[in-house]
Structure 1
C-alpha cells in the first residue's frame, strides 16, 4: 500500500506545480499564430563565416553561394512558418539542407553590422551559423 501512495502523492505534487489556470499553456505557448515578421514575397539574404557561405531566398528558391561558387546554385525550398521563426528545407548537392531564420540581433563577427535575424543551417552533417536580413528589415551599420 505504501508504494502506491508515494507515487500518487508525487504525481499530484507535480501536476500542481505545472498546471495552468483555465487550461492555458505555460509561457508564450498561447501564441498559436505562425511567424509573420517576414512576408512570403520578401527576399531574405543570409551570410556566414568560417567557412564563408551566403544565400538568398526569393519565394521558394534558395540561391546558395560559397567562395568556390560565387554565382551560387539555385534549388527549390519549402517554407514553413513556425511560432518563433521560419524554416526552409530542400536538397543541395545530394544532401538535405534546412535553414532556420529567427528574430535575434546577430553579428557576423567581421563587420560593424548588426543583423535582425540569426540563421542556423544544417547542410548534411554540417551545421553552420550566420545572420540574415530582409528587404523590409535591413542590417544596420556600414554597407
Structure 2
C-alpha cells in the first residue's frame, strides 16, 4: 500500500504535464521524512519481578501507557491527572480500574542492572502493587 501512496504524487504530475504539453519534472527522489521525535515523557517508571513499565506524557492532558506482568497486560489511559502532592499521577482504565503511580526523588536501583535512577516508584493497578525506579523530567 505504501508504494502506491508514494507513486500518486509522481503520477499526478506526469498526467498534468501530459495534458499541458510540457515535459514532466523528474520525480522526487528524496528520502521520506522521518516522523517528528516523540517528546520525553514526564515520568518513566520500570520495575522487575514481575517486569513492568509505565510512561506518562508531559503536557496539560497527559496519557499513561502501562505494560504489566512482563508485558502480558497492556493499557493506555487517556485521562490522567497529577496528584495533589505533585509526586505522581492517577487515572482510570476503560474498565473502571483505578491506577495510581507515585514517585519519590531518591536514588534507586532496579535490582537487575547497575543503573541508578533519580527516583523510586510504586504503581497500584487496583489489584496489585508494583515497585520500581523512575526517571522524572525536571519541573
SS of 2:106's equivalent in the other structure is strand
Give the TM-score of the pair, scaled to structure 2.
0.58
Partner of 1:141: none
CA distance in 2, matches of 1:51, 1:94: 23
In structure 2, runs of 5+ residues without a counterpart are 1-39
CA contact (8 A) 2:64 2:76 kept: yes
Greater Cα radius of gyration, structure 1 or 2 = 2
The alignment's C-alpha RMSD in Å is: 2.3
Using the TM superposition, give the Cα deviation of residue 134 of structure 1 relative to its aligned residue in structure 2, in angstroms.
Answer: 3.0
Give the TM-score of the pair, scaled to structure 1.
0.57
Q: Superposed, which structure 2 residues align to 1:1-143 within 5 Å?
A: 43-59=42-58, 60-66=62-68, 67-68=71-72, 72-75=74-77, 76-82=79-85, 86-92=87-93, 93-136=95-138
CA distance in 2, matches of 1:101, 1:64: 15
Using the TM superposition, give the Cα deviation of residue 135 of structure 1 relative to its aligned residue in structure 2, in angstroms.
Answer: 4.5
CA contact (8 A) 1:55 1:65 kept: yes
In structure 1, runs of 5+ residues without a counterpart are 1-40, 138-143
Q: What are the superposed Cα offsets for residues 10-60 of structure 1, whole Å, 9 maximum, x if unpaired? A: xxxxxxxxxxxxxxxxxxxxxxxxxxxxxxx85211101111110111132
Residues 122 and 107 (structure 1 numbering): CA distance in 2 closer, same or farther, change over 3 Å? same
**Structure (1 or 2) with the greater strand fraction:** 1
